[in-house]
Amino acid sequence: MSKKFFLEDLFPNKKNLSDDTASIVDQEIRRIADSVYVDAQKMLKKYSKQLKRVAEALLEYETLDGKQINDLCKGLKISIKKSDDNDNSPKAKKPKRRAGIPSTSAKQTIVTNEIDNS
């Protein structure tokens, strides 16, 4: 679905331009947008192999740095070590074990991990 773009869409309450001038502006905006669109299509087509390599690597490794992306674009293979427990990267602390979470019911009972055998 294509909607024709008019300058009036951006400034509906302003009528500072004549219809002819607004039409010229609309045509120029359309020309620029079409040109940029064609350029983007050409770039995606030209670099589709590199784009596919980077996309596949991101699916596998989730994150890449600039050097890895450059290597992929040059057609080189990259090797990323899977996370080991021996690395020095910061880890999230394990939460403290708690007895339970207070209930918000009208009885004000407390929920615990203990089993009631009564």
Boundaries of every domain in the chain: 15-73
Taking all residues of the chain, what is their mean pLDDT, rounded to a whole number? Answer: 76
pTM score of the predicted model: 0.47
Structure tokens at 110: 């407390």
Span 8-26, pLDDT tens digits: 566 665 566 788 888 898 9
Span 68-95, pLDDT tens digits: 999 999 988 887 776 555 556 666 676 6
Buried b / exposed e over 54-69, threshold 16 CB at 10 Å, is: beebeeeeeebeeebb
The 3-state DSSP class for residue 15 equals coil
DSSP assignment string, 81-103: PPP-TTS-S--PPPPPP-S--B-
